[in-house]
Amino acid sequence: MRKLKVGLIGTGGIARGCHIPGYQSLPDECEIVWACDTNLDLAQDVAKTHDIPKVTADYRDLLADPTLDAVSVTTPNKHHLKPTVDALNAGKHVLCEKPLAMDGDEARAMCRAARASGKILQVALQMRFGGPARFARDYIDAGHMGEVLYARAQALRRRGVPGWGVFIDKEQQGGGPLIDIGVHILDLTLFLMGHPTPVSASGKTWDKLGRNPDLWNGMGDYDRAKFTVEDMAVGFIRFETGAVVVLESSFMANLKDDLFQTQLFGTKSGAVVKGWGDDPVEVYTEVDRQLFDLRPRNVPRVESAHIAEVQAFVRAIRNGDPSPVPGEQGLVLNAVFDALYKSSVTGVEEPIDLTV
């Protein structure tokens, strides 16, 4: 089988730090042949650094290449929709950065395009490819936790507003920490819970800290007057199964330490699963009326979850397998966020629209 030919739509930090290393980790299976960015100088620099032969500022040039098999869409959130839909319509497989879209309506359009094309649409949600997620998923699948009734998902930064890019611009980004880092911890939680169907959500967002020019920020300075996203969001999500998830996410919050973890409460045991770090999984259970706190020693080592997600994309294409992270699962996340943002305004619980 010949190597897959891949193009990059967007050559910023996420492309350079994650997608390019992912494709380059499989030199016998794929090769990057196009680099595209509206900033042509940036695209040319990336192409020169990584020996990518073709460069353009117009992604339509990539899609017109009949030899191209797949693209990574690594643009700002506002520019996920059109390149993704156009690429699918052109018969290319797509790995689209998270969140899939700005909102549920855009995500629905992308899912419809994927279904019509028969091509893979994968959402770049790498946490589920990490060692802690793999261990916890196997532990749950073996029945050791019983029924997971409740989860508390936390992606909290004390002082962590990204001081670069468009992360503070709602018009470009669609939201703040909820849609940027909350998306990862909610996806990890739903992955571990077996993807129950959400039905409604209530939530609240604030922007009081992020707009305050007197506060220190640990990820570089930014113009407080241009901060138009929330700095903290909390939500309560109900599922068809009767399960509930509480989601907490912040760029700025007055807490002791940053947290990126989900805590699962099952009928047989509970667990805390972290995205990384030492002892990333802890299990709380009971045997013969004795309570045990367990720290597994054999959590799989994954050098890079980002690289693993790209490898999964390439191999799904080559093997004719379904999408490792289908667009519909990205739609679920966008639909939940739509309901949470709306609920923050209306003050009532809002339904979650999962129609495609």
Q: Where in the chain is the domain with CATH 3.30.360.10?
A: 131-301
Contacting residues for 135 by C-beta, under 8 A, at least 6 apart: 281, 296, 298, 299, 300
Q: Are the C-beta atoms of residues 315 and 297 closer than 8 Å to each other?
A: no
pTM of this prediction?
A: 0.96
* Assigned CATH topology for domain 4-127+306-325: Rossmann fold (3.40.50)
The three-state secondary structure class of 4 is: strand
Q: Which amino acid is at 195?
A: H
Query: Where are the strands (E) in 133-219, listed by range?
Result: 148-156, 198-206
CA distance 199 to 353: 8
Rounded average pLDDT over 302-313: 97
pLDDT in tens, 246-278: 999 999 999 999 999 999 999 999 999 999 988
Angle between helices 104-117 and 327-346 (to 10 degrees): 160
Q: Where in the chain is the domain with CATH 3.40.50.720?
A: 4-127+306-325
How many residues are recorded in the chain?
356
- Running DSSP on this structure, what letter comes out for residue 298? -
Torsions phi, psi for 17 (to 5 deg): -85, -20
Q: Are the C-beta atoms of residues 280 and 295 closer than 8 Å to each other?
A: no
- Give, rounded to a whole angstrom, the gap between the first and last alpha carbons of the chain: 34
Tokens encoding 70: 């797949």
56: pLDDT strictly greater than 90: yes
Q: How would residue 329 be classed by pLDDT, with cut points 50, 70 and 90? A: very high
* Assigned CATH topology for domain 131-301: Dihydrodipicolinate Reductase; domain 2 (3.30.360)
Percent of the chain residues past pLDDT 90, beyond the cut:
98
pLDDT in tens, 170-211: 999 999 999 999 999 999 999 999 999 999 999 999 999 999
Sort 333 into a burial class: Cβ within 10 Å, 0-12 / 13-18 / 19+: buried
Tokens encoding 19: 């997608």
Contacting residues for 322 by C-beta, under 8 A, at least 6 apart: 120, 316
Q: Are the C-beta atoms of residues 334 and 178 closer than 8 Å to each other?
A: no
Cβ atoms within 10 Å, residue 57: 14
Q: What is the pLDDT of residue 312?
A: 98
Q: What is the pLDDT of residue 1?
A: 78
Q: What is the pLDDT of residue 172?
A: 93
Mean pLDDT for the chain overall: 97
**Helices (H) then strands (E): counts for the chain:** 12, 15
Rounded average pLDDT over 154-160: 98
Percent of the chain residues past pLDDT 70, beyond the cut:
100
pLDDT in tens, 97-133: 999 999 999 999 999 999 999 999 999 999 999 999 9
Q: In what order do the strands lie in the sheet with 54-56?
A: 54-56, 30-36, 4-9, 70-73, 93-97, 121-124
Q: E strand or H helix at 14, and its extent?
A: helix 13-14
CA distance 123 to 333: 11
CA distance 300 to 156: 25
Q: E strand or H helix at 334, and its extent?
A: helix 327-346
